[in-house]
Homo-oligomer: A and B are copies of this chain.
Amino acid sequence: MHGEIIAIGDELISGKVLNTTCGFVANRLFCSGYQITRITFIGDDPDAIRGCMLSAIERSEYVIITGGLGPTSDDITNEAVAKALGRHLVLNKEILGKIREAERDLARPLPLWEKLAWLPEGAEVLNPEGHSAGYLLIHQDVPLFFLPGVPEQLEAHMVQQVLPRLRGLTAPKMAVMQQTFKVFGLSETEINVLFQDLESSQDGLSIGYYPNSPEVNVTVTVKGLNSKKVAEIFGMACKTIEELLGRYIVAVNEDTLEAMVGRLLLKNGGVLALAESCTGGLLGQRVTSVPGSSEWFDRGVITYSNKSKKELLGISPETLSRYGAVSYQTAEEMANGIRRLSDASYGLAITGIAGPGGGTPQKPVGTVYIAMATPEKTAIERFHFPGTRHMVQALAAETALDWLRRYLIYDTYIPGYRPARHTK
């Protein structure tokens, strides 16, 4: 069943806003066996909406339309659609009731919102929960799904409404299985070389390599008419990928490296504490983005100044003056300091030069020392990360988290990212 997506909004064709929702919708459909053949972005322009929608209705078996459904004056989709399809706009009392209810709850009027209740004649409201409700319109036997752009609302519409209705219309002909492996420490081409044979070995199997800095997403997809055969090939492919990538896989699908580290710490009763300099809180932010992280995370310090390194971590003035704040020795004392002062089982410390300024010939921009203190010992490595300030910070935080993950699973002190040659 071939469908297409139309996204409406001046901000999309002027490039002011990056649209992520179309990719999301396309992927949801793809993974459910429904192929999208075309995605079109057009502006808030009634003629463009008319032309694009009529061609789509002729060409495709279903159409998904997003954008321009909100309350502000540039939201003109409903009006343009009604006109293009020769239908009146009709006041939907269900939606109007929800708006009035929300106004009572907030004890203030919601100006402009009444507009959300005027839908093209024949529209069936898809999800009466939430105010920017999506709707379904069947025109010349082609289902047109109008969906709100807000990600959570869109996801709810896709899962609860669109997919079940598509399945009601026709079962997907293709079985599709897909899994994404998040990989850190190998480049896209290094991974590609590993899988050249695997990909050509089976019909319907494809492997995609998508950099998602600092990780690379490796996506395996198997499609076919025979669902048993698809499952077989998929199982074999995933097993091969797991064997070949091994320790470099930091998470699978929606999981994250930080959530994985959290689960490992919970399992062994460990508690983590952080001492950050050049990452400035990024490591803490990633760790505390995991719900329930208070069970395995005690504290972090962001010691940006030398004074704070002495006061919060007990770094000796001699170390700072002799070796500098960005050094093997300072990183070691930082990790030991935060572990000792917090009574945590594990201390991670990062100190480096994120740039753009501050580099020297001996310690160029991108030089970062990471230390991991465990109950057994403290390991320290020097790294040289490429790229912008943002990239250096992201690579440093990822390397530190991944190092702890590797230690907790494999009991090893070898980091996933290759250290710089001279480590002291």
Q: Residues on A close to B: CB < 8 A?
A: 10-20, 22-30, 35-43, 45, 48, 52, 70-74, 110-113, 152, 180, 188-189, 192-193, 196, 199, 206-210, 212, 217, 219, 221, 274, 276, 278-289, 291-294, 297-305, 307-308, 311-312, 341-343, 355-357, 388-390, 393
Residues of B within 8 A of A40 (CB): 38-41
Give the docked Cα–Cα distance between A24 and B12 (Å): 11
Measured CB to CB, the closest approach of chain B to A327, in angstroms, equals 17
Instruction: Known contacts A111-B193, A301-B312; decide if A36 and B17 are in contact (CB<8 Å).
Output: no
Measured CB to CB, the closest approach of chain B to A15, in angstroms, equals 3
Other than A16-B23, A72-B188, A74-B208, give 19 A-B pairs with Cβ distance below 8 A.
A15-B36, A16-B217, A16-B219, A17-B217, A22-B41, A38-B52, A71-B192, A72-B192, A74-B206, A112-B192, A280-B284, A281-B284, A281-B302, A284-B285, A299-B304, A301-B302, A307-B342, A307-B343, A312-B312
Structural contact, A301 and B301, CB atoms closer than 8 A: yes
Residues of B within 8 A of A311 (CB): 341-342
Instruction: Known contacts A15-B28, A27-B15; decide if A305 and B294 are in contact (CB<8 Å).
Output: yes
Structural contact, A13 and B37, CB atoms closer than 8 A: yes
Structural contact, B41 and A14, CB atoms closer than 8 A: no
CB pairs A–B below 8 angstroms (19 shown):
A13-B26, A13-B35, A15-B28, A16-B30, A16-B217, A18-B20, A18-B23, A37-B42, A38-B40, A74-B206, A112-B192, A274-B302, A280-B285, A289-B389, A294-B304, A298-B307, A299-B302, A300-B302, A302-B302
Give the docked Cα–Cα distance between A303 and B297 (Å): 10
Residues of B within 8 A of A308 (CB): 298-299, 342
Instruction: Known contacts A10-B208, A36-B14, A73-B192; decide if A304 and B312 are in contact (CB<8 Å).
Output: no
List the number of copies, as a whole number.
2
Residues of B within 8 A of A72 (CB): 188-189, 192, 209
Measured CB to CB, the closest approach of chain B to A178, in angstroms, equals 8
Measured CB to CB, the closest approach of chain B to A301, in angstroms, equals 5
Give the docked Cα–Cα distance between A19 and B297 (Å): 34
Structural contact, A16 and B20, CB atoms closer than 8 A: no
Give the docked Cα–Cα distance between A285 and B298 (Å): 18
Instruction: Known contacts A11-B210, A281-B302, A301-B300; decide if A357 and B292 are in contact (CB<8 Å).
Output: yes
Structural contact, B289 and A393, CB atoms closer than 8 A: yes
Measured CB to CB, the closest approach of chain B to A48, in angstroms, equals 6
User: Shortest 5 CB-CB distances between A and B: which pairs?
Assistant: A280-B288, A281-B284, A15-B27, A281-B281, A15-B26
Structural contact, A112 and B312, CB atoms closer than 8 A: no
Give the docked Cα–Cα distance between A297 and B38 (Å): 49
Structural contact, A208 and B17, CB atoms closer than 8 A: yes
Structural contact, B302 and A208, CB atoms closer than 8 A: no
Instruction: Known contacts A13-B39, A16-B180, A282-B281; decide if A299 and B298 are in contact (CB<8 Å).
Output: no
